[in-house]
Structure 1
Amino acid sequence: MNKELIELSDAIHAQSELVDKLSSNLETVDEADEAFAKLQKMQKQYNLKKQKDAGVQEPRNPQPMNTPEDSVEVKFANAARRGFKNEYTGLQESSNEDGGYLVPREIDVRIRKYREAEFNLGQLVTNKTTRFSSGEYTYQKKSKVQGFVKVPENGKIPVEAAPKYERKSYKIDKYAGIIPATAEEINDSASNVTSLLIERLGKMSRATSNNMVLTAFADGKKDTSTDTVKYEVVSSKNCDGLTKLVNITLGSAYNAKAKIITNDYGKQILCEMKDANGRPLLQPDPTQPTRQIIAAGALLIEVVTVPKEIMPNVNDNAKNYAPLVVGDLEAAFTIFDRQQMTITASNSAVAGDLNAFENDLTLFKATERECICVTDPDAYVYAHFDTEIK
C-alpha cells in the first residue's frame, strides 16, 4: 500500500471517529450529517485509488457499490443516532402513513374534568323564599336610647322621643342562560352529556350568586356622592389593626357572630402575622379542626377562605390588595329567592340563530329569579390589607 493510501486511510479513520462523536449529541446532529457525507466521499476516493493501484480500470459509468453503509440495518442505526432526521425512510411511528397507524395508542372518549375552585358565597348570607316579585320590610331605625330621668315628687314627667322606622325594599330580577347540544353529541357520546350540561348550569347558578354577593359587598360601602367604595385599610405587620377592626370598627353589636372572609392572598398574609407573644395569629379551631380561627381578645372568629378565582383582589387607587370582609353577613345581606333554578330542555325551540328542530339540537334553558338586598350595612366592614399584591 503506497503512502497516499495510508494517509487517506488514516484520514478516513479520523473522520469516522468525528462522525461518532457528533452523532452522539442531539445538538450536533446537523454537523454529523455533513461529516458523514464527507466520510462517504473519502471512502469512495480510497476505493477508486486502491482499484487503480491494483490495475483495475475505473468504469466509464460507475454503478454505486453496495457498501455495508447501504444496508437497512446500518441506515436504521445511523438514523437512530441522528434522531431519524433526513436519513431513515422505512417504518417509523412519527409518521402515520409510514407505520404510525400500526402503533397502538390509548383513546378514551370519557369526559374528564379539570379541578376547579368552588365556593358559594350565598351560604354566608340570609336566604329567604318569597312569592312576590317585589316587597318591603319594615325596620326600626337605630338610635341612642336614653334612660329615664329622675323626677321629684309631684314633678312633671318628660315625654321621650318615639322610635323611628324605615323600610328596606327588594325587587326580583331574572337570570337565565341557554346551552345547546347536538343530537349526535347526546346520543353517541360515551359520557352522559345531559348530566354534564345540567351540572354546568348548576355551576353557572352558583357563579351568579357569587357575583351578586361580591357586588353587594361593594354597594353597601359605596359613597353615593363620589360613587366610589370606601375601604378600611388594615396593617399586615401585626394583628393590632385587625383586632381593632373587630372590636371597635365592627363593634360588640355584631362581632359575636362575625366571620372574617378573605381570599388566598389574604389567608397567606394572615398566616404570616403573629400575635403579641409571637405565636401565629391563624390557628385551627380546637372544637372543629377543619376550621381556622383568630383570637380577638376573648372572641374566637372563624376565618373563611374564598378561592382567589372567585373572590378577586380589590382595586383601590389603581393598586391591588387582598380583600377583607369582617362581620355578621347574615345580618348584613338577604337573598330573596322568587324562583329557584328551573331547567327546561327542548328539541323544537328557537333561540336567536339556533333552531333546535331544524338544526337537530336540544336547547337546555336555565332560569332563576332572585335578588340581594343590603339589609344592614353596619353589620360588616369592607377592608383590605395594606400590602400591595403584584
Structure 2
Amino acid sequence: MKKSIAMKNSLEKLKNEAQVLLDNNKVEDAKNKMEEVRTLKAAIEVQEELEQEEEAILAAQAEAEKELEEGSTKDSKNKTKENANMIRAMLKKVTGKKLTEAENALILPTTTAPEGTNGEGYILPQDIRTLIQKKIRQYKSLRDVLGYMPAGALTGSFPVENFETVSGLVDFADGTDGEDEEEIKFKNVKFSLQEKAAFIKLSNTLLSLTDNALINYVVDVFARKAVVTENIMGLAALKSNKTVKTIADWKALKSSINKDLDPGVLFGTVIVTNQDGFDVLDAALDSFGRPILQPNPANPTQSLFKGYPIAVYSNTMLPTTNGKAPIIYGNLSCAVCFVDLNGQIAFATSSEAGFMSNTTIARLIEFIDIVQCDNSDKCYIYGEIAVEPAA
C-alpha cells in the first residue's frame, strides 16, 4: 500500500476527531485539530508528488529492461538464423549449387585443406561447436575427467614431468648456469591429430528444416558419434602402460588411495567406474551400518567416496569382465589429455560415398588425439573391483 493512502486514512481520522471536539463545544481544541488536518494535507500533497516521481522512474526502468530483453532475444534469434544459414550455405557449396554473395561471405574454409583436397572443407561456427561440446558432455564423455590441450597444428609435442621424477625448484642466481639440464627430467609427449568424422546424408529435406531444427540435428548427430569414439580412445589411453591392480572391496580402494597415490595429486582425484562397480560401492556399509558413499552437497546426483567424486559410465562403454568391474582413480586430468585443433570442427563432403543412392554424404570432422601424459601409479591407478556374479 502506498504511503499516501495510509496518510489519507489518518487525515480522515483527524477530521472525525475535530468534528467530535466541535460537537462537544471544544472550539479551541477543534481549531488546533484542524491545524493538524491542514499540515497533514500539505504532507499528503508532497508525498503524492514523490510517489509520482518514483512511478515514472520505475516505468522508465521497466521500459529499458524490456527493450534490452527484446534486443537480447532478437540478437539470439539473429545469431541462430545466421548459424543455420551458414550451414545451409555450406551444404549448397559442397553440393555444387551456386551461392549468393551473402552466402559466400558466411562460410570459412578450413586451414587443414582449404583447397578441398578431400572434398570442400569449411569450419563450423563457434556457437555450434560450443553446442556440440555441451551435448557431448550430456552424453557422458570422458572429457569431463581427463585433461585438455588445444593444438595449433596436426602434429607436435609438449613437455611434461612425471610425478615419479618431479623435482623441486633449483637455485638460479644471475651469472650462473643453474642445474645441469640432465637433472631436469622432462619428457616430450607427442600427438598426431586424427580426423574423426560423422556422416550425414544431404537432402532437400535437411536444407528445409527450421533454423533450430537444422542446428540441433547437426549437433546431435555429431555429438552422439563423437562421444562413443572419444570414450574408446580415452579408455585405451588410460589403460596403456598400466598394470591392472585388483581391488577386493571398498576398504582396499580406500587403502590404495591413501598409500599408492601421491598426496600432490589428491586435489584433483576422481574415481571412474561402470554401473556394476558403482553398485558395489553404493551398497557397501561401514562397521556402523552407514553407507560409505555420500551425496555431493554441491551436486546431489553425484556420490563421493572419501570426498572424491565418482564418475559412473555405462557397462557398455566400460564393460565388466570375469566378474570384475574397471575402477580408475587418481588425477586423471594430469594423466591423460585430449588434444584437438583448438576445438575446430570441419564440414566436408564426399559424393563418392553415396553414389549408390545418388546422394552426397556430408562429413563433420574433428581433429583429435588422446595421449597419456603420466603413467605413474603415483598419478593414477587402473584397477578392477570384484562384483557379484550375474544371476
Cα–Cα, structure 1 residues 278 and 214, in superposed 2: closer, same or farther, change >3 Å? same
For residue 233 of structure 1, the aligned residue among 238, 242, 246 is 246
Matched letter for residue 148 of structure 2:
N
How far residue 220 of structure 1 moved from its aligned partner, in angstroms, is: 3.9
Q: Distance in 1 between matches of 2:191 and 2:323?
A: 32
Q: Distance in 2 between matches of 1:350 and 1:144?
A: 52
Mapped contact 2:276–2:387 kept (Cα < 8 A) = no
For residue 278 of structure 1, the aligned residue among 289, 309, 324 is 289
Matched letter for residue 328 of structure 2:
V
> What is the match of residue 367 of structure 1?
365
How far residue 330 of structure 1 moved from its aligned partner, in angstroms, is: 0.8
Q: Which runs of 5+ in 2 are unaligned?
A: 1-137, 169-179
> What is the match of residue 342 of structure 1?
346
Q: Distance in 2 between matches of 1:352 and 1:271?
A: 48
Cα–Cα, structure 1 residues 325 and 140, in superposed 2: closer, same or farther, change >3 Å? closer
How far residue 380 of structure 1 moved from its aligned partner, in angstroms, is: 1.2
Which structure's residues are more often helix, by fraction?
Answer: 2
Q: Distance in 2 between matches of 1:286 and 1:274?
A: 20
Q: Percent identity?
A: 19
Mapped contact 2:245–2:381 kept (Cα < 8 A) = yes
Instruction: Give runs of aligned pairs for residues 83-94 of structure 1, distance below 5 A.
Output: none
**Greater RCO, 1 or 2 (C-alpha within 8 Å, sep 6+):** 2
Q: Distance in 2 between matches of 1:122 and 1:343?
A: 22
Q: Distance in 1 between matches of 2:144 and 2:346?
A: 20
Number of corresponding residues: 239
Matched letter for residue 233 of structure 1:
T
Q: Distance in 1 between matches of 2:332 and 2:145?
A: 6
For residue 151 of structure 2, the aligned residue among 130, 144, 149 is 130
Query: Cα deviation per residue 1:106-142 (whole Å; 9 max; x = unaligned)?
Result: xxxxxxxxxxx92111121111211112112223464
Matched letter for residue 371 of structure 1:
D
For residue 330 of structure 1, the aligned residue among 327, 330, 333 is 333
How far residue 188 of structure 1 moved from its aligned partner, in angstroms, is: 9.7
Q: Distance in 1 between matches of 2:226 and 2:216?
A: 15
Cα–Cα, structure 1 residues 263 and 140, in superposed 2: closer, same or farther, change >3 Å? closer
> What is the match of residue 192 of structure 2?
171
Q: Which runs of 5+ in 1 are unaligned?
A: 1-116, 147-158, 222-229
SS of residue paired to 1:291: strand
> What is the match of residue 376 of structure 1?
374
How far residue 253 of structure 1 moved from its aligned partner, in angstroms, is: 2.5
Cα–Cα, structure 1 residues 118 and 353, in superposed 2: closer, same or farther, change >3 Å? closer
> What is the match of residue 274 of structure 2?
263
Query: Cα deviation per residue 1:117-169 (whole Å; 9 max; x = unaligned)?
Result: 921111211112111121122234644869xxxxxxxxxxxx9x833332221
Matched letter for residue 273 of structure 2:
T
Q: Distance in 1 between matches of 2:229 and 2:143?
A: 10
> What is the match of residue 220 of structure 2?
199
Query: Cα deviation per residue 1:188-229 (whole Å; 9 max; x = unaligned)?
Result: 99x9578435421221122221111111121141xxxxxxxx
Q: Distance in 1 between matches of 2:255 and 2:220?
A: 43
Deviates more, 1:251-260 or 1:375-384: 251-260
